[in-house]
Homo-oligomer: A and B are copies of this chain.
Amino acid sequence: MTTTHRSPALTAANVEAAVEALRERGLRVSAARRLVLEALYGAEGPLSAERIAEGLEGRLPRSDLASVYRNLETLEEVGLVRHVHLGHGPGLYALAAPEHEYLACESCHAVRSVAREELDGIRAQVREQFGYEARFTHFPLVGLCPNCLAESEGHAHP
């Protein structure tokens, strides 16, 4: 699996904007806090706190796990960060914007991330039928992905 990363220049600019948002709220900009932001802006997908603390396998300096959790919490309160629970592992953290929602496969555990609007049709139907406003940001829409579905249908029907 190839891992693509955002351009360092773009990441840096975004981090500075986020840092500015922190200052506006009277929050301090420590090295540890910057590091969390850099990890999140530099990453493709959502990250565990542990991976952030370990500096994304050495691409960034490492920091204390407890502080990472505290900073993620702070950044979440500020609205810059969200976390999602994909399956049974640790929670995964990502930038709050742009807003992604997740489809997770119960069988192979593959995760597909889609823009919010792509789920608006389903959201509308859920709202009409149940009056709920569905969100797949914190818990994914779980099911069998097309591959696993095909596989299970291959075996079925006696």
Q: B-contacting residues of A (Cβ < 8 Å)?
A: 85, 103, 105-106, 112, 118, 121-122, 125-126, 129-136, 138-146, 149
Contacts and interface: CB of A to CB of B under 8 A. Distances in A.
B149 A131 contact: yes
A131 B121 CA distance: 15
Given A106-B138, A138-B106, A132 B122 contact: no
Contacts of A139: 85, 139-140, 142
Contacts of A121: 125, 129
Ranked 7 nearest A-B pairs via Cβ: A131-B146, A134-B143, A132-B143, A133-B144, A139-B142, A133-B143, A135-B143
Given A121-B125, A122-B122, A126-B122, A141 B149 contact: no
25 contacts: A85-B85, A103-B130, A103-B132, A105-B132, A106-B135, A118-B129, A121-B125, A122-B122, A122-B125, A122-B126, A126-B143, A131-B146, A131-B149, A132-B143, A132-B145, A132-B146, A133-B144, A134-B141, A134-B143, A135-B142, A135-B144, A136-B142, A138-B142, A139-B140, A139-B142
